[in-house]
């Protein structure tokens, strides 16, 4: 049996030569791969091996001997403890290059396709971009903590300021903490499923400035809720909606199904481009509104609609992309498995006076073949699947219909690459690949891909 070149709990010095999938540094010792979270390409570092597998190991960063030219001091004082961001220690231009290469590597390695990937489209100011924050509430000894979970744990890291959230969230967080302390509100304990207050959710509409605050409780009881409402109203003029959400389940899912409006409206209103959207507590809405507009306009550009096309929008969610497509299409058919999302999509279409969009509840891989069987064919298909990517049966159904173009919106380069390989085998060619940085300071990346039918 061959002896591995590293041992657990031993220290080593290593040159970081590349970056891993989640933004960790990658180096080698005797051709054996070591992943080092917190390290950056071109650094020489000292590490402690914390986990060893047959083909690779993980090292903990002990000391940076020679820092990379790409390193930057994180703006957040708790960055190394909080699990919210992964690459804030990297200069922003390098973050964009990392994401471009991540998409490129996935398409080449998994998709076995040799295609140029455009540089990731970034933000002018890559901070304070999120319009929604969901914060677990807990206790550490006798202190109230509200914040984010530490990396790979359910330990809550208390925050006072988050640099990727809107500034108003910091103020709401502090007011909520003081209310909890003053009225001794019971805090939820996930180990024994006791206590009341579980989460604080804040949603900010960037175009209108409207604010929604949601308190999530374990059960219907919410003591001193009037005091909470009055304190918020007195201190935050932007608030338009204060909601009580009930989640009594033993689950990691944050929101329950039942919402009660404590004050104001049941929703807040925001815009993406010229389109208006009413956002309720349970509504899906992209968290980075500035980059969402860029993303959707890129979808519209790749679709290149002339006004006579029929378009299928698979995994349409609340219909946001469908509305953008409706501007230039003859007809748009949106498909989504979540019934509540389709209800929102129909309302969104009505709110924006869109007459040429129709929505269906069901699995895209079932509904689209049904539409085809009724003689409804698409000239262009847009897919925006969840992280697991598209079902093979959906891709096969689309290929059978032979639309001229497919526009694929992806949140995971790995499953995107897998699906591009399948589509290539189904006579579709990948033409353009454009990553968009929806989540600066994190390792996540969205990608828009134009795929064209190979003419026989």
Kindly report, residue by residue over 372-425, the tens digit of the pLDDT.
999 999 999 999 999 999 999 999 999 999 999 999 999 999 999 999 999 999
pLDDT, one tens digit per residue, over 87-106 is 999 999 999 999 999 999 99
User: What amino acid positions are annotated as catalytic residues?
Assistant: 411
pLDDT, one tens digit per residue, over 291-329 is 999 999 999 999 999 999 999 999 998 899 999 999 999
Q: Which of 311, 319, 334 is nearest to 286 (CA)?
A: 319
pLDDT, one tens digit per residue, over 178-199 is 999 999 999 999 889 999 999 9
Q: What is the CATH number of domain 132-279?
A: 2.40.50.1070
Mind spelling out the 3-state secondary structure of the chain? Answer: CCCCCCCCCCEEEEEEEEECCCCCEEEEECCEEEEECCCCCCCEEEEEEEEECCCEEEEEEEEEEECCCCECCCCCCCCCCECCCCCCCECHHHHHHHHHHHHHHHHHHCCCCCCCCCCCECCCCCCCCECEEEEEEEEECCEEEEEEEECCCCCEEECCCCCCECHHHHHHHHHHHHHHHHHCCCECECCCCECCEEEEEEEECCCCCCEEEEEEECCCCCCCHHHHHHHHHHHCCCEEEEEEEECCCCCCCCCCCEEEEEEECCCEEEEECCEEEEECCCCCCCCCHHHHHHHHHHHHHHHCCCCCCEEEEECCCCCHHHHHHHCCCCEEEEEECCHHHHHHHHHHHHHCCCCCEEEEECCHHHHHHHHHHCCCCCCEEEECCCCCCCCHHHHHHHHHHCCCEEEEEECCHHHHHHHHHHHHHCCEEEEEEEEECCCCCCCCCEEEEEEEECCC
Angle at 64 (CA atoms; ends 25, 72), nearest 5 degrees: 70
Contacts of 147 (CB under 8 A, 6+ apart): 82, 135, 136, 156, 157, 158, 159
Place of tokens 């990346």: 445
Distance, CA of 143 to CA of 83 (rounded, Å): 20
pTM of the predicted structure, to 2 decimals: 0.91
pLDDT, one tens digit per residue, over 195-217 is 999 999 999 999 999 999 999 99
Q: Which of 118, 136, 114, 15 is nearest to 420 (CA)?
A: 114
Q: Phi and psi for 366 in degrees, rounded to 5?
A: -100, -45
Tally of residues, the chain: 456
pLDDT at 234: 96
pLDDT at 393: 92
Q: Which of 46, 47, 40 is nearest to 23 (CA)?
A: 40
Q: What is the CATH number of domain 97-124+288-453?
A: 3.40.50.150
Q: Which of 227, 244, 409, 246 is nearest to 313 (CA)?
A: 409
Distance, CA of 39 to CA of 59 (rounded, Å): 10
Distance, CA of 311 to CA of 407 (rounded, Å): 10
The domain spans of the chain are 11-66, 97-124+288-453, 132-279
> Quick check: 370 pLDDT over 70?
yes
Domain 11-66 and domain 132-279, same fold? Reply is yes
Q: What is the CATH number of domain 11-66?
A: 2.40.50.140
């Amino acid at each position: 049996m061959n002896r591995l070149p590293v041992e657990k709990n031993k220290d080593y010095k290593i040159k970081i030569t590349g970056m891993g999938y989640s933004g960790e540094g990658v180096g080698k010792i005797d051709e054996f791969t070591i992943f080092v979270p917190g390290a950056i390409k071109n650094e020489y570092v000292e590490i402690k091996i914390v986990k060893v597998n047959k083909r690779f190991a993980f090292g903990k960063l002990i000391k940076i001997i020679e820092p990379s030219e790409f390193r930057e001091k994180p703006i957040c004082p708790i960055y190394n403890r909080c699990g919210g961001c992964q690459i804030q220690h990297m200069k922003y231009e390098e973050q964009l290059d990392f994401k471009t290469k991540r998409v490129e590597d996935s398409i080449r390695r998994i998709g076995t396709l040799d295609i140029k990937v455009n540089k990731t489209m970034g933000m002018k100011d890559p901070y304070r971009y999120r319009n929604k924050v969901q914060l677990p509430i807990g206790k550490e000894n006798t202190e109230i903590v509200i914040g984010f979970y530490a990396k790979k744990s359910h330990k809550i890291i208390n925050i006072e300021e988050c640099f990727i959230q809107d500034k108003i969230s910091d103020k709401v967080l502090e007011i909520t903490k003081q209310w909890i302390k003053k009225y001794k509100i019971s805090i939820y304990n996930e180990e024994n499923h006791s206590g009341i207050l579980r989460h604080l959710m804040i949603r900010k509409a960037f175009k209108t400035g409207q604010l929604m605050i949601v308190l999530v409780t374990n059960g219907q009881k919410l003591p001193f809720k009037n005091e909470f409402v009055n304190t918020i109203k007195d201190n935050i003029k932007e608030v338009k909606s204060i909601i009580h959400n009930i989640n009594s389940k033993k689950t990691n899912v944050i929101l329950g199904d039942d919402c009660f409006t404590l004050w104001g409206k049941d929703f807040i209103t925001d815009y993406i481009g010229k389109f208006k959207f009413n956002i309720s507590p349970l509504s899906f809405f992209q968290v980075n509104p500035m980059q969402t507009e860029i993303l959707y306009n890129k979808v519209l550009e790749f679709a290149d609609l002339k006004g006579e096309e029929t378009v299928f929008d698979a995994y349409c969610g609340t219909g946001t992309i469908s509305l953008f497509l409706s501007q230039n299409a003859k007809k748009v058919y949106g498909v989504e498995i979540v019934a509540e999302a389709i209800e929102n999509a129909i309302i969104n279409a009505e709110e924006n006076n869109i007459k040429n969009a129709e929505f269906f509840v069901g699995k895209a891989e079932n509904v689209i073949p049904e539409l085809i069987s009724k003689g409804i064919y698409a000239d262009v298909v847009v897919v925006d699947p969840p992280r697991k990517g598209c079902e093979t049966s959906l891709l096969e159904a689309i290929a059978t219909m032979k639309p001229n173009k497919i526009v694929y919106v992806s949140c995971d380069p790995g499953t995107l690459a897998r699906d591009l390989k399948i589509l290539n085998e189904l006579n579709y060619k990948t033409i353009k690949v454009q990553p968009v940085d929806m989540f600066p300071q994190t390792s996540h990346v969205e990608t828009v891909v134009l795929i064209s039918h190979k003419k026989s």
